[in-house]
Amino acid sequence: MSLFRKKSLATLLETAADSEKGLKRTLGATNLVALGIGAIIGAGLFVRTAAAAAEASGPGVTLSFIVAAIGCAFAGLCYAEFASMIPIAGSAYAYSYVTMGELVAWIIGWALIMEYALGAATVSIAWSEYLNNLLGGSIPYQWCHSPFEALHKVVGSDAIAQIGAFNAEFIKTAKDGALILTEKQFEALPANLSSLVAVTHGIVNAPALIILLALTLLLIKGTQESAMVNAIIVFIKVAIVLLFIALGWQFINPANHTPYLIPEGTTGHEGFFKHGYGGILGGAAIVFFAFIGFDAVSTAAQEAKNPKRDMPIGILGSLVVCTILYILFGHVLTGVANWQEFKTSGKEASVAYAIQTYMHGYGWLATAVTVAILAGFSSVILVMLMGQSRIFYTMSNDGLIPKAFGDLHPKFKTPYKANWILFVFVGLFAAFVPGSVAGDLTSFGTLFAFVLVSAGVWIMRRTDPNIERPFRTPWVPLVPILGVVICAGMIIALDLETLKVAFIWMIIGLVIYFAYSRKTSKLNEPGHRPGEILPKKSDFN
């Protein structure tokens, strides 16, 4: 059995056309654009913007968004060609199965779990953080954080003064008689001072589990219902983003944008991807998480009414709208508050922190933003869970994972068992793993998918040039090559620990493939013709 045996496009389209047994086609172009925006504007904008500024790019996070968007644009054009040509659930997994064979398809399918499942986990963690901020911190730390996180808090002016005498940099973020230290700052304290710090360890992130359960139940109820709820949420959060940009612009302090890039030699920013122009690329790798929404649209291709026309509109339209909003938002956020403050005080709720601290008289906006963000995060989780369940559905139909993942609800026609299994998997991550870890792994899965989809378009143009392509990626092979190069560059820019964990994850996936999936694949069934010639344009007429 060849490791690179392919599934024919004719077989894929035949499966997609069987509306009696498959998913319902209920989504139009507007629904698809809303799904894309719903997935894109969320944790990436409201959380990862501040994280990228604090860790790598400073005010230059706007340039990081541009770099990430350019990589997305090249990949997005390639996704649009595939999604219009192969309108089935499965996204990059299905495209790779047709162009590069089963082993590559499995690898990308396994990587997509990091993109969608861990993406949902990351955003549910952010949802929990913003809920606690809205409630004034009334949820005990241990019940809204993972066991691997700890709060290092110093209370009292005397204690803060003693720590300030040790290192004045540590107390710059002290506020209202309290000081929160980072893990590194706490470890740097001598024993006599560390005893002044109250340490609280997390137990489980309960709010994250609650929102995951609620959205899982909505997805089981139906795709159209989920799309309607998402559209309402998208309208609310885009309106709030525009409001923050418009009102925040007058509070921009030009000094916060000088220098625009983090200078070399800045403490805590050692390494090429932590400062200067390298920091722009490092920041792009962090905020790239913000762009996973547009490819999530492609997982809904089998539920689109007119996929040949609507899929390119949904993918590219949502990408353009959100890129413009991201650049403006990043410029205002880093102008209102200094990027260094996001290392501590503004880490969990950077937007609300900036408003409350510097936009005096607009306290109501901080509350409105927090409410909108909670709703926005909900739509992101919704789309991520939907995308992953559809990939599971397709992989199950191909025999690569157990049949239960492909079972549809007898009434709602949704992959309800996949939704429940996904809830358990994502819930474990959300409850017990820090958001920063899951977020970086999500970026890896996304970038890896983009690399293979970009390469797949070029390969298919050479091997099967006459297939009907309702949307054609321009300037092939230049666009696919640039998509591969830029996205691969951002993978390299991810931190070493993330790459190590991703490598281990991929090894586990290969073990599962050779021990189980390769044997259960439907390509093994009698009568299947591996390497079957793909249909030409005339075959569709």
Q: What is the mean pLDDT of each run of 10 residues along the chain (541 residues)?
A: 75 61 74 83 76 91 91 88 81 85 91 83 86 86 88 85 82 78 84 86 92 93 81 86 93 95 87 89 82 76 82 89 92 94 70 89 85 82 87 90 90 89 92 73 82 90 86 93 88 85 92 94 72 40 36
Amino acid at 511: V
Q: What is the CATH number of domain 9-16+25-141+206-535?
A: 1.20.1740.10
**Residues carrying CATH 1.20.1740.10, the chain:** 9-16+25-141+206-535
- Which residue bears the tokens 């990081």? 64
CA-only gyration radius of the chain, Å: 23
The runs of H, that is alpha helices, within 268-415 are: 276-287, 293-298, 307-336, 350-358, 363-397
Largest CA distance in the chain: 82
At residue 467, the pLDDT reads 83
At residue 247, the pLDDT reads 95
Of the chain, the end-to-end C-alpha distance in Å amounts to 34
Alpha-carbon distances, residue 256 vs 19, 60, 174, 261, 358 (angstroms): 56, 11, 19, 11, 12
Helix axes 102-134, 363-397, angle to 10 degrees: 160
At residue 244, the pLDDT reads 92
At residue 535, the pLDDT reads 40
